[in-house]
Structures are given as C-alpha cells and as structure tokens.
Amino acid sequence: MKSGIHPEYNHVVFIDISTADEVISRSTMKSRETREIDGVEHFVIKCDITSYSHPFYTGKQKFVDTAGRVEKFQQRYNWAARKAKLEGKEVPTEAAAPAAES
C-alpha cells in the first residue's frame, strides 16, 4: 500500500444506545469519548439501530397486508371501470359507482 493516502484505522466499540449491546471492531471513525478494553484504547461510537435492536433481526418485524392495500387503492380510483371503458366493454355494476371516501 502507498503510504500517506489511506485513512487511519482505529479500534472502536459500537454501542447500541437502545439495548446497551457492544460490538468491538476496527473502523476509520473517531469520537471524543474513548474507553479502554483489554488494555487497548477504543473510540466509542453510539448507534441508534444495530442488529441487536433492528426489527428485522429481532423478529419483531411487522408485515403489511399488501394485497388488501392494492385492492383498496383500485376500488378508490375505480380501475375496473376505467379499464372496461378503454376496452369498450360494459362497466361492471360494482365498479360503476365510485367508492365512498373514508
């Protein structure tokens, strides 16, 4: 490697502020706060979300009913009637009346 062109690689500890879990690693990041771990000085980097608190990794992920959302959108904008009109077909009775706004 060419000397003088690469960023300094430091010992860091990433702390999840919501769960207080820590990950010791190395990074180019720095902070004013430091902590000594096993005789080595580490920069402390506080993180809002890590794999310890992210819903995808914790299993607390919410699934959205996308099929229901699509049908609701199509009913709101009356897509069945528009498509039938473009194709020159008769408009279905349930799609002929505009959906009530909620």
According to DSSP, the residues that pair with 23 across neighbouring strands are 14
Task: Give the whole-angstrom CA distance, residue 29 versus residue 78.
Answer: 53
- Give 1-25 pLDDT, tens digit per residue: 788 899 989 999 999 888 888 999 9
Give pLDDT, residue 29: 92
Q: The whole model's pTM is what? A: 0.53
- Give 32-85 pLDDT, tens digit per residue: 999 999 999 999 999 888 888 877 767 776 656 666 777 777 777 777 777 777
- Give 57-69 pLDDT, tens digit per residue: 677 766 566 667 7
Give pLDDT, residue 49: 84
How would DSSP label each residue in 19-58?
T--EEEEEES---S-EEEETTEEEEEEEES--TTT-HHHH
